[in-house]
Structure formats: C-alpha cells, structure tokens
Amino acid sequence: MTLNRPAMYRFHNGGAKDTLPFADQEYHDRLEGLREIMEMHELDAVVLTSMHNVAYYSGFLYCSFGRPYACVVTKTECVTISAGIDAGQPWRRSIADNITYTDWTRDNMWRAVASVTGEGKNIGCEADHLTVERMEKLNTFLKPKKGMDIAPATMFQRMKKSPAEITMIKHGANVADVGGYAIREAIKVGATELEVSIAGRDAMEREIAKRFPDAEYRDTWVWFQSGINTDGAHNPVTNRKLQHGDILSLNCFPMISGYYTALERTLFVGEVDDASMKVWQTNIDSHEFGMKLLKPGASCAEITMKINEFLAERQMLQYRTFGYGHSFGILSHYYGREAALELREDIDTVLEPGMVISMEPMLTIPEGMPGAGGYREHDIFVVTEDEPEDITHYPYGPAFNVVA
C-alpha cells in the first residue's frame, strides 16, 4: 500500500462493527427519510460534511482536526469518507461502508467522494457547512449537473425525534441531574469555579459509562460560573474562588454519542439579598409560565411573544439577552444547531409531538445594580399530544439552591 501510494483504500480493520448508539434499523429509517428527500428533489447523491449529519445518518462522529470528512448517500449506498489517521475506527463505528483517503496527494478526500457519486450528477450538499474553498472543490471534482442545499431539509428531519432518540435524550437529562447534584455537593466558600466544575464533569462521565458501557466517551463538560462571570450563559470556567453571597450558575452538558443535553440552574452561596431574590423569582415565574406554552400547534414566535409580554408587564424584558429555548439532538457547542426550532421572535416553526425543546429564560442585571448577575433556569421538554413532558428533575429555586 505504501509503495503504491493510493489515493484511497478500504480498511475494515477488525472484521466486525462496534456497538452503535442505536439499532441498525434506526439508521436505515433515517437513510430512507433522506432518500425520500432526494427523490423529491431528483438528486442522485447527497454529500454530507457536517459532524451532526454524518453522525445522524451513519453513526460515525468524526474528529476533524483540520481534515475534511464526508458521508455520501446515493439511492443504494451509504459510504463514510475518512482520513487515514483514523484507521479502521470510522468503519467500525458506522452503519455504512467506509473509504479511507490518504494524505499523499492533496484533495484525495474529494477523489474518494467522486468515486462514489460519479461526475455530472444531481448533488445535494450542506451549504451552511461547506466553506467557499470546499464548495469549489466539490464543483471541480464532482462536476455536478445540478446542485442543491440539502441542509434545511436534513435539519427538519432531525427535529422530529424517534422513540429511540427520545430515550437517549432522557438518559442524557438524567445524567445532567447527576452532575448537578455533584456540583451542589462541591460548592463551598473558597472552592474555585474550576474545582466545582471538575466534580460535576467527572460524575457525569462515570454515569455515562455506567449507562452506555459500549459507547465512546468525549466532550462532556461543565460551565460553572460565579459572581460577575454569571452574566453570560456561555462564559468559560475561571479559577475564581467562591465567596459568601455569590450568585452562581450551574451548567451541566453531558454528551452521549453526539447527543447533547443540558441542566442549568441559578444558585447562591449561603444567602440571597432581597434585590437578588426578586429578580430570581421573576425569572422562575417566567420559566414556569413558559413551560405551560410548549404544546403542539403553538409556534416558536408565538411562545416567545407571550413570554416577552409576561416579562414586560414586570418591567424586566430589557434584561433578557437571547431566545427562550432550542431543540435537542445531535449537537454541541461547536456543531449541530437546529436553528428552525428555537424560541425566538423570527422563528415560525410550529411545535409537533416528538420534538424536544428547552425552556430556559435568562435575565442579566448589570454590575453595580441591585441584584447584579445572570439568572437562568433550564428544563428540557418532550412535546407530546397533550402536556409537555419535563425530563429534567434537578430542583430549581431558592428552597434547594441556596447552598453552603
């Protein structure tokens, strides 16, 4: 192989597939749904390049490290395209066939893609993921007769969760609860944000390993913030030491085979002053109000406007900084956003049974004002035919979350 220096080869190392996150039929059903989209738009092949779509349709969650990856789906084939650095793991960890491309010549990845699609075909791709350079490579090597952005259609397919996905997401929510309790136990005056976050992350990693002994383990993390560091929802952990009276933000993010869940709670160290309690309670009230709105038939924009009105009546809307919730599934802080299912003014998507969405209002009071800090509660809901099902069980509010 080394002497011939091939552009690509098949390396099905080990002879047997590993246990995937879902049963084979789950992936076959997803591919059938994608092929229906292809038939509707008269596409011969789809070239998926994002982490979330490659994982969704094949089971393989790649680690790019500067190299391109793909999953090519035709009417009869599903083939992942991976770099030689991964050896046989992409084949073992996917429902699909796999072609390994080599680094000996630039653009061998696109030669591998073209070996599956052929030239001059009708091709779907993810326009929101391909850079201008990679789009040019696709056009050069595949010479498509027709191109189409398949990303919106795949996103809408991913937004409706299967029963197996909902089970996975429920496990994730349970794991997040475990992390929350571990964090609560670690909170004390003088502890650092970093020390507390490590306790939560380690507890979640161990719980995931218990529940999914055949999985790959990566990407689980905690953002634990204190004082002024609570003002943003995605502020990184620091080495700041906790002080009596601090506002805290607990954020647990277990990752199970690419599936993200979250638990987010406001806490205080020791005691809460009156101004902070007033803001905290207002955010809790908006959280509880919003929970009741997550029913089929309601649009994201409609729900958002109702919560806006709720906060405006209490003169607090000006302290809201982002949307009230979003979809869950294959996503992380660096891949996979299902932007059409977010609780924002500009999203008209109507909720349907099988969707999974959070309710997570946040109010941020600027430093120097009474009650300064960021207040956030976050529960995950499965939309059903009737009442939304709350799958987050860690308590919110001052009765449980004034600690140490």
User: Which sequence positions are flagged as catalytic?
Assistant: 234
Say what angle helices 51-58 and 151-159 make with each other, to 10 degrees.
Answer: 60
Greatest alpha-carbon span in the chain: 75
SS3 35: helix
Strands 362-365 and 259-260: unpaired
Nearest to 222 by CA among 187, 181, 254: 254
